[in-house]
Amino acid sequence: MFMRNTTVRDWILRYVEMRHDLNDAKEILRLAQTADYLDQNANVTDTGKLLFEFGKFDGVYKNEQHQFA
């Protein structure tokens, strides 16, 4: 379970970093916590888990769409 949460946390932080074009780690963490993706201890929340699951699905769907275009 620890490895899965670490993977999800890393993905969320990279997502926030890319989505908002940020370079400051503290700002990325603050934004992820404000959006309720991570709690105050930087643990993944239910909202963060949903973002990760939907983000994975959306990425797979987009990749399949581009292969046939």
* Containing structural domain, residue 21: 2-68
Q: What is the mean pLDDT of residues 3-9?
A: 82
pTM over 0.85: no
pLDDT of res. 69: 42
**Higher-scoring residue by pLDDT: 43, 68:** 43
Q: Could you read off the pLDDT of 35-67 as tens digits, one per residue?
A: 999 999 999 999 999 999 888 776 544 554 444
Q: What is the mean pLDDT of the chain?
A: 84
Reduced to 3 states, what is the DSSP secondary structure of residue 43?
Answer: coil
C-alpha–C-alpha distance, residues 64 and 69, integer Å = 9
Residues 6+ apart with CB under 8 A from 43: 5, 9
C-alpha–C-alpha distance, residues 41 and 7, integer Å = 16
How big is the chain by its Cα radius of gyration, in Å?
A: 13
Total domains present in the chain? 1
